[in-house]
Amino acid sequence: MTPVAEMPRDVEAVEAVITALDRGVADDVEAHRVMTGTLVAELGLDYGAVWLPAGRGAFRLAGEWGALVPALQGARAQTLTSSTGLGGRALSTHEPVVCDATTDPGACARWAAASAGGATSGAFLPVVEDGTVVAIKEFYKDGELPVFWQAKWHSLERLLTNARRAAVSMAALRETLDDRRAVTTVVGQIAEAATEERALRVALDTVRTAFGWAYGSFWARDESEDVLRFVQESGSAGEEFRRVTLAASFAEGVGLSGRAWRQRDLVFVRDIGEVTDCVRAPAAQRAGVKSGVCFPLVVGGVVIGTMDFFVTDTIELSESRAAALRNVQQLVSQRLDVLRRSDHAARNARELLDTIARLREAAGDAGLVADQAVGQATTMTREVEALGQASAAVDEVIRIISGIADQTNLLALNATIEAARAGELGKGFAVVASEVKDLARETAAATKRVSDQIAGIQASSRSVAEGIHSTSETIGRLDVVQARIAEVLEEQARMASAFEDVAR
């Protein structure tokens, strides 16, 4: 019986990579990291790293594994380009570049560091898709690398690429579902939020938990000092990070929140260490925070605050996730706008009710004054009528006095005639008669003046009585107007109360 040949180790490694990808990845970056790390573990390699595009033809180190990681620390360049050692050659030629004991260490700083650390073989393997290098994988081993690195690399990488694409597609589908679920949850819960605090709490908790992020916080704009200040938080990124957060404030353009404020749009930072103007960045790095995202909340065309989130893994923000966050941003901003308008309307309604109450009180006071005025006018009318009657009585007395004066004057005239007839004996009597006649004339003149004055008083009394009567009628009509005003105020009060209920 022919013995069954042992399956090559490289095939087992490929199967392990596919199995690891099937467990699920978050995005394309994690897929490359999972593939590279699995190959290092399955093939017993001493070092493995993956370089991913960083823009403008450069590649950045996205992850490294193995015992030689410390040895490569000193040779870690910021980026890898087509002119950077053996990795640059693989990038420019699209072909694997293998190094061994015959390779000049001077040709590549990384190979020199790896060989100094004990590696005897290595390879830079380009991952090519549609004629473009999408990744560079770097491996070192104390011993020989598996034979497939040169002979079978392209075929095996195409197989792994298909598995990676499938895993990434599945991750994108899951992310889309998570995004939709998060937005749907925000829509459902935020519509029920009766206060700004509740609306912000819903958004912070929903986004953070839906996306599996560690920490989220809301920063409100302090208009008096024109800075952002901490208000609410969700989750935790360590006590030190929280202490720094509570004490921090951000001006426009400063830090992650300040940048979102200035740009009035979503801001994503893959490496929080790149935010050198953020006081929270050092504490965040010590707490293991890797990436951050922030978006502004805009109400009435004005940025009123920002909402930021931090992740303990290095992530890439997909277009789907960015769109979902912008949807959340818009939903929260709209809800805050509605709540603020409702609060403003409710305050206006309460102020209107207060004004109506004061007007109602004033109208009531005016009614009382009108009633008092009518009462006083009635009293004055009676008094004026009494004055008229008294004037008439006085006038009658004056006529009597005037009659007596006339008779006295006539008697004095007769007495004067009789005195003249009496001659010398009647002279003294004639003097008295003359004085009586003068007094009668003066009395007649005085009574005439009094009579004229009484006539004037009577005329004035009639005019005053007529004026008081007219005033009483006017006050009566004013009372009707006050009643109508009271009815209108009651109607306004009912409308304001209904408006206040709607605003709540």
HSE on the CB side for 62, CA within 13 Å? 26
Helix-helix angle 28-43:9-22, to 10 degrees: 150
* Amino acid residing at 123: A
Mean of per-residue pLDDT scores for the chain: 80
pLDDT of 437 higher than 90: no
Confirm if 37 and 21 have CB atoms less than 8 A apart.
no
- Sorting pLDDT into bands at 50, 70 and 90, what band is 352? low
* Amino acid residing at 432: V
pLDDT in tens, 365-424: 666 766 676 677 677 777 666 666 766 666 676 777 777 767 777 776 777 777 677 766
Confirm if 195 and 339 have CB atoms less than 8 A apart.
yes
Give this prediction's pTM: 0.54
Q: What 8-state DSSP symbol labels residue 274? A: G
Tokens of 322: 């960015």
Which residue, among 270, 41, 35, 57, has the nearest Cα to 137 in the 3D structure?
35
Tokens of 122: 């290595």
pLDDT in tens, 135-168: 999 999 998 877 555 556 667 777 788 888 888 7
C-alpha distances in Å from residue 3, one per residue of 6, 10, 369, 398: 9, 20, 122, 163
